[in-house]
Amino acid sequence: LTEVYSSSPALGRYFRSAQVISFSNESSTVIYQLVFSVPPSTEEFMENSMNPDFIRNILRQNIYDKD
């Protein structure tokens, strides 16, 4: 995750860290925390760049690009 988000053209300059919060072998589930340092918030920035769907899609695109 660190490599994906730190190299992202859209979010790389804001990304600070990724940390695994919990991991389950039974269900192959990982819960992680992403930390971003964002400029003074503007409504547009938070709605677009910090949108959870946008952040998830950056990870998805990275996975698809590797296939």
pLDDT tens figures, 16-58: 999 999 998 888 899 999 999 887 767 888 888 888 899 999 9
Range of the domain at 11: 1-65
Tally the domains of the chain.
Answer: 1
Specify the pairing of strand 29-36 against strand 15-24.
Answer: antiparallel
pTM of the model: 0.73
User: Is 12's pLDDT higher than 80?
Assistant: yes
